Structure 1
Amino acid sequence: MPLCPGTPTPAHSTVTETHVITTTDLTKVYRSRGREVTALDGVDLHVREGEVYGVIGQSGAGKSSLIRCVNLLERPTSGTVTVAGQDLTALAGRGPRAGRELRQARSRIGMVFQHFNLLSSRTVQDNVELPLEILGKSGAERSRKARELLDLVGLADKAKAYPAQLSGGQKQRVGIARALAGDPKVLLSDEATSALDPETTRSILALLRDLNRQLGLTVLLITHEMDVVKSVCDSAALMENGRIVESGTVSELLATPGSELAAALFPLDGEASGEDRTVVDVTFQGESATQPVISQLARTYNIDISILGAAIDTVGGLQVGRMRIELPGRYEDNVVPIGFLREQGLQIDVPGHESALAKEGAK
């Protein structure tokens, strides 16, 4: 699992760990009119069983190509995709048997789309039943399963309604119910909340988290919104130009000096007021978020501390805060106060001095 350059391998990456989704050296090249566009450039992705994993990046970063390659809606140019121990790329042959095996494998992977993709001529219940029809289930079995799923997503009273009669959030709930029809162990979400208003987005994210916990679903979602990662993700990856440039659990990323994802989750502004001042970014997690550490620092070393910016929020159920402070003196003059902060269990990032901090942490 690649992290920032120089970042140690995460503690959770052990040989006994179960990865439900794995891509290895995944490449996707699109060819059109004699031109080649590389959407994925050697992507290695490892999603653990039972976690919500977010892939974030700007438009054109390769996120949609990645998620569509995970269930082989897009056939990779090279590399492998393994889901629940099955190599899907080995099933993507040209013959009818390979096609049938791939369809069976896909039936165990649910997919939620950005624009719902509901059939307007079918009722809500009929839309949910559609995958079960394709699987050849009986009418009674389809009806029972669809009603169960609609109840699960909070739409039991909308079974006979048509998509045009639903709000955007309700349509997405139908899409989620349909994605669960085949009892998948993996749920893929392709920008499922980007067309929704903020309040509806929060309700859909809460539903995905509830389903993750109740059903033991492994959820892989792509998004361009940091709030999505902050709200529901256990782990995350940042994509740029078809590559994963940073990945890990959210708590690891917040504890990684110089992490782009951590800075984006909790952006802090503020520059040093002079060359003889040191700017320090402090990350608090869990119990440390409520401790008066900064005032203790000021009293212990009798120094004046300026607070340039601060943010506090809940990430994955854990209270997390970041603060940018300014200390008098250059970095070399503040090694001891910075060490005091680290001894309190805080993550310390001194912009421009990450390498020095890494050396100190290794001692």
Structure 2
Amino acid sequence: MISINIPEEMSAATLPGNSTAKLEARRVPQPGHGEVLIRMKCSTICGSDIRCIYHEHLGKGPEGYQDGMIAGHEPCGQIVKAGPGCRRFREGDRVIVYHISGCGVCNDCRRGYMISCTSEKFRRAYGWQRDGGMADYLLAEEKDLVHLPDSLSYADGAQVACGFGTVYEGLEKVGISGNDAVLITGLGPVGLAAGALCRKLGARKIIGIDVIDDRLKIARDLGLCDEVLRSGPDNVDEVRALTGGHGVERTVECSANASARNTALRATRKWGRMVMIGEGGRLEMNPSPDMIHDQKMLYGSWVTSIWRMEELVERLVRWNLHPAELITHRFPLEKVNDAYALMASGRCGKVAVCFDEELA
């Protein structure tokens, strides 16, 4: 049990869709049945926030951003008040929030994949259709929580909420082992997370490609890639030269760029596997030479399940892997506009809005 004085009002950030973040005062919500009130500790910024909300509100319908919703779908914090009916979590618990709250009874929800919940009425993503983590407090449903061990920081947990969880799902689909050379196209925060996880999963060689020199430097300096290549027309030949002429066994596509996707597909060796994680963009290919004749497998992967997210947290502790190491910039909530502007520039690793001790 913790003792905290909960105020009536809090600061919160919304995204008007004009390349700014707006800070305003909101009432602190009260938890109902099966809900908890979380004091935010860290909320990181996802590329999908920039692509679909920050510059303009692209999504429409039940999956689109609802005007006025508090932003932030990568939240992590501490429960300060638990409503009636909570069965597992209680005040004082450190928690990660799985960022989609599903209906709980459709087939996808029963599998733990609330991201794919089929209910138009009850599926609501934090930071999109319900208030998210860019505020002093967050109201969440208990069923959406993952326990954060003491050995992981809140900044570690915030990245599990989307980025690291999403990547881990994709890597588990293609399988990564010491047999594999891995190519990662796109070294934004998702691609950097892929490098960190592939390293722990035992990949024998990791090659990264990006168009932004700052990202190449981060991947190289943090030891996430053995080789980094600047995006260009010769990338397929360069990758083959680094792999004895064969290409890589596994490819992780994180850029959503059409040229990078072509590179990823063609640099994958015969019998290899590729997973597409980067959202948006297009893919054009010649099925016979690019896939069929070389018997390649192509996977799509969208976020992860809540049970696999719990598994990832356990693995992070076992591996002594801290996702917070990919955070290059931390901002207080009052500078949230600067945080989103930097993330939109792409000249950074992960950007976090931090509260209390996580700002240090």
Structures share a fold, TM > 0.5?
Answer: no
> Which of structures 1 and 2 has the bigger CA Rg?
1
Q: Normalized against structure 2, the TM-score is what?
A: 0.26
Q: Normalized against structure 1, the TM-score is what?
A: 0.25
